[in-house]
Amino acid sequence: MSHTVQTETVRIPQGDVIGQRLPRVSRFSSIPYAEPAAGALRFAPPVPARWQGTLDATLPMPVCPQLPSRLRGVMGDFEAQQSEDCLRLTVWTPAADARKRPVVVWLHGGAWQSGGGAVDWYDGARLAARGDIVVVGVNYRLAALGWLYVPGETANVGLLDEEAAINWVVQHIAHFGGDPQQITVMGHSAGAFNIAAMLARKPQFQRAILHSASLGRGFREADQAAHLSRVFLEAAGVQDLSQARQLPLGALFAAQQSSGVMQALKKEGANRSLFCPVIDGDIFKAPTEPLMQAACSRADVLVGSTLNEMAAFPGTVINEQSQQLGEIIFRAPGRKWASDARTEGRQAWNFSFDYAPTQQFGACHCIDLPFVFGNLDAFAGAPMLEGMVAEHATSLVDQIQTAWIEFVHGRSPGWDMSPVVKIFK
């Protein structure tokens, strides 16, 4: 450890967590909330982390093993170590004291196949400092490692990872200056849909921010998920999960990209990711409609989307067809969620992010994230932000962070509730 690093130590029941003191916050990186999901634990439900003693939380957090994102041509790319020992989280806090600040738990997007909870894009330092809140970035298992469905085996383990991380936050965040009774879970795309899925179960939070949740796609039914998994395992050259646990990661990635798997996914015709939450009969028992109806009654929400969602996806241009698809998958279901939540007695606000610095990508999927975290520098060179005017961008950061922080503190973000839609542009 470099002698120039200013450290701060937090004691939790398992031992001492040594983090780094930055100018306005302390960061505690790569804290395990579950055991490494490798070997016999690959594809298995998360097992609470068992480390004891002293933890060096000044090191970067690895991400779940993954293929490159299909959106890197729009939002840029990131570099990070990949490891199956990825069930970790990072905490940014203004101070590890007894103040009991509101907490934001961040769940990244990436079609259940890519991303990471604490890559530079999602550094929580600026949001934590500005809002006097504690920000927690979470990794969860991706692609086959988190979402492969084999009948008779535990399904949706990536979702169980997220629930385990939130449980860790409930148990430990008070040691880091946070209030376990004031948790807002914020997610984008797949991460936002996962929040909706958790709300259909037994959530340990009462406030949620849903960015571009693909609510219009919904869960995958068990029969179809089982079929895709059979094709996937066949492409990987194995017959069951016990054999798949022995495979090198490269074999799983190769199967994910195989022509047979791609053909099976295309034949499904649902415009859905290869891996996603499944109505498996155990973790999720009911059809989608009653699940979602129950879910929207369990949290106050800030829910919205971008104006040109589909423009981020390869081969898509902004036209009537892509706009209609974005309306079906993201925008209309988000408005309905807010409306249903209000009917159920919850507070619910809608937003739309319409800022479009480029003609090609417009206000595409992901374009709101640099402004929420205030990390425009981390997105330097992102094609979706070409032509951005610095003064305008700074103003948007101010508007959005002010609203989001108000919501996280339990107040109105600053406009009337659903059906009103606040437009940021």
Show which residues are catalytic: 189, 309, 365
Residue matched to tokens 């606040």: 422
Reduced DSSP (H G I as helix, E B as strand, rest coil) percent helix, strand, coil of the chain, to 5: 35, 20, 45
Question: What is the rounded distance in angstroms from the CA atom of residue 405 to the CA atom of residue 408?
Answer: 5
Listing DSSP states for 100-116 in one string gives -EEEEEEE--STTTS--
Of 311, 229, 217, 227, nearest to 273 by C-alpha is 217
Question: What is the rounded distance in angstroms from the CA atom of residue 244 to the CA atom of residue 240?
Answer: 6
Residue matched to tokens 């849909």: 193
Question: What is the rounded distance in angstroms from the CA atom of residue 337 to the CA atom of residue 208?
Answer: 12
Tokens of 38: 């490798």
Rg for the chain (alpha carbons), in Å? Answer: 20
Indicate the helix (H) or strand (E) that contains 159.
Answer: helix 157-172
Q: How far is CA 178 from CA 171, 183, 191, 195, in A?
A: 11, 9, 22, 20
Q: How far is CA 296 from CA 108, 162, 216, 370, in A?
A: 20, 19, 14, 27
Tokens of 132: 């006097």
Q: What's the one-letter identity of residue 105?
A: V
**Are 376 and 200 in contact, with CB atoms under 8 Å apart?**
no
Strands annotated E in 99-248: 101-107, 134-138, 178-188, 207-211, 220-221
Torsion angle in degrees (nearest 10) through CA of 308, 310, 312, 313: -170
**Are 275 and 113 in contact, with CB atoms under 8 Å apart?**
yes
Listing DSSP states for 14-55 in one string gives TEEEEEEE-SS-EEEEEEESB----GGGTTSPP-B----EEE
